[in-house]
Structure 1
Amino acid sequence: MQCFQQKTVGVDIIMKTVHIPETNDSVELLIYDSSGKEIFYEIMEKLWEQPSILCLVYDVSNEQSFNSCAKWLQRVRARTLCSQLPGVLVGNKTDLVGRRTVEQKQAQEWAAQNELEYFETSAKEMENFEVPFRTLAKSFHRLYQERVEAIQSFV
């Protein structure tokens, strides 16, 4: 299992396999992990073809990190032809309780307004770490199944 405990200082590409409960299926997620710094935007843009799902992660102790999510969401949505891009917003570093600057309610409201599911995690403490990935994998699997059914209806 890939562990995201190290701080991202550039761009990492990670493959993560997630089993879909109540099926015999698994989904392989190809994850482009960047630190969110502007200097990596051009690299990330070249890696994105047609995104299928989206995971935005911000630091709950850094309001600028949270505020930049709107810009990254706009950029990703501009790269997709899908009318709906399933995604999650993840508030990370919940272990930094005394340094928190972004309240959970504020982030939940922003996520809901942008049709994203919201989760909070601590990668350092490995708390709630897998839940966003399972949610994304289930969303992707559901979309895949819908496309297969649509194709089969034409046959």
Structure 2
Amino acid sequence: MPNSLRAKCIIVGDSCSGKSAITQVFHSDGSHFPKNYAMTTGVELVTKPVHVQDTHDAVELFIYDSAGKELFSDMVQNHWANPSMVVVVYDVTNETSFNSCAKWLERVRSQKPSVTMPSVLIANKIDLDERRVVSMKEGQDFADSNGLEYFECSAKEMQNVEQPFLYLAKTFHKLYQDRIEYFMSMT
């Protein structure tokens, strides 16, 4: 019988980094890119089941797309209790958004300080290569030094948006299976 697990996925990063676009493109299976930008002022929640490759199981992601403006930070953090996984997003054309990644990661990890949770860093807007100011190496180095898996994508071009979420679902599922095996070995 297939398992259907549930996971709380927190998406963070500076405003205008593309968090909402990534969320909406992933949620719509690449059929919808938001052409009209409306700044997220709190937290928007979407859910999507993700089939775990090589299993009959799925992980239902409850994706919390969080506002990136400091003005909303207190309100947003109220929705971050008990995260299962974290997605940190930056814009490759905006060095400030990249430099803020450590702050965002710390804020989410402070919700569960003693728990290791699946986490990814997404470099967004790679379609704007001529305006890129943050190199792939810088992103990869930051991810490596913070225990994150690194992905590059373009929400606008609907390129590689699904991969980080597939990775998170697979990693979450593996952690779940490992816990079951551990508890079974205790009996």
- Quote the residue 2:39 is aligned against: 9
Is contact 1:8–1:34 with CA below 8 Å preserved after alignment? no
Change beyond 3 A, Cα 1:13–1:117: same
User: Per-residue displacement from partner, 1:19-47 (whole Å, max 9, x unpaired)?
Assistant: 00110000011111124221222222111
SS of 1:48's equivalent? Answer: coil
* Separation of aligned partners in 2, 1:8 and 1:38: 17
* Separation of aligned partners in 2, 1:124 and 1:113: 28
Change beyond 3 A, Cα 1:60–1:53: same
User: Per-residue displacement from partner, 1:117-155 (whole Å, max 9, x unpaired)?
Assistant: 100000110101110000000111011111212222233
1:42 maps onto 2:74 in alignment: yes
Measure how far apart 1:8 and its partner are.
5.8
- Quote the residue 1:57 is aligned against: 89
Change beyond 3 A, Cα 1:48–1:8: farther
Farther-moved stretch of structure 1 (57-66 vs 3-12): 3-12
- Quote the residue 2:127 is aligned against: 95
- Quote the residue 1:19 is aligned against: 51
Unaligned runs of 5+ in 2: 1-25
AA of the residue aligned to 2:39: V
Aligned pair count?
Answer: 155
* Separation of aligned partners in 1, 2:115 and 2:78: 21
Measure how far apart 1:67 and its partner are.
1.0
Question: What's the Cα RMSD here?
Answer: 1.6
**Percent of aligned pairs with the same amino acid:** 50
| Greater relative CO (CA pairs within 8 A, separation 6+) | 2
Measure how far apart 1:98 and its partner are.
1.4
Change beyond 3 A, Cα 1:60–1:68: same
Is contact 2:44–2:65 with CA below 8 Å preserved after alignment? yes
Q: Which 4+ runs in 1 deviate beyond 4 A?
A: none
TM-score norm. by structure 2 comes to 0.77
